Chain A
Amino acid sequence: NAGVTQTPKFRILKIGQSMTLQCTQDMNHNYMYWYRQDPGMGLKLIYYSVGAGITDKGEVPNGYNVSRSTTEDFPLRLELAAPSQTSVYFCASSPEAAMPQHFGDGTRLSIL
């Protein structure tokens, strides 16, 4: 019963460093999503993918990149970490558009 798995769970970065947040799902879902959650706020969509090889920007894509080479994996990359990217990042997947999304447990990222 793995569902959506995110790694790492926690990370501290220095300003200007880069890193990749990993997300994998074992439900053969076509749609995958990356959100960020800032304190006291709802989730904001960063990027999403409707299938392998296809990605598109969400509401807050600046400073991030994604790729979707397989159905299972949807990594999120931060190239030049900035303090404004301190947040909790959630990956989600769904079988099709408008279907309920299944969430991972999140990656808590601090940039100092």
Chain B
Amino acid sequence: GEDVEQSLFLSVREGDSSVINCTYTDSSSTYLYWYKQEPGAGLQLLTYIFSNMDMKQDQRLTVLLNKKDKHLSLRIADTQTGDSAIYFCAEIPPRGGGNKLTFGTGTQLKVEL
């Protein structure tokens, strides 16, 4: 597809795991990113994964990459209220020079008590 696709909303209970999914556009993209945006703030880089990796773990965050299906996921373990935000996946596809991020529409994560 032409667009990076994400579900718009996800609601979880505090303490549960959250899984945010993303389908990106170009299997040749070298790096894939997850950004977090809290209300009224800019984007904060959470983590990224290089395309030769299947998985990357960083404390409560686990990124899984399926290059064949162009599928990226972000798992947040023990989700807290402070994790409530919009999460964007992004890629830098080689087309267009390989220096421009293409973002998904974002997944709004709501953490309920």
Interface residues of A (CB under 8 A from B): 4, 31, 33, 40-43, 45, 48, 50, 58, 90, 92, 97-98, 100-106
Contacts and interface: CB of A to CB of B under 8 A. Distances in A.
Contacts of B43: 43, 90, 92, 103
A86 B35 CA distance: 23
Interface residues of B, number: 23
Nearest to B44: A103
**Dominant SS at the B interface?**
loop
A4 B88 CA distance: 19
Contact of A43 (B8, B30, B97, B103): B103
A98 B99 CA distance: 5
A106 B88 CA distance: 16
A42 B99 contact: no
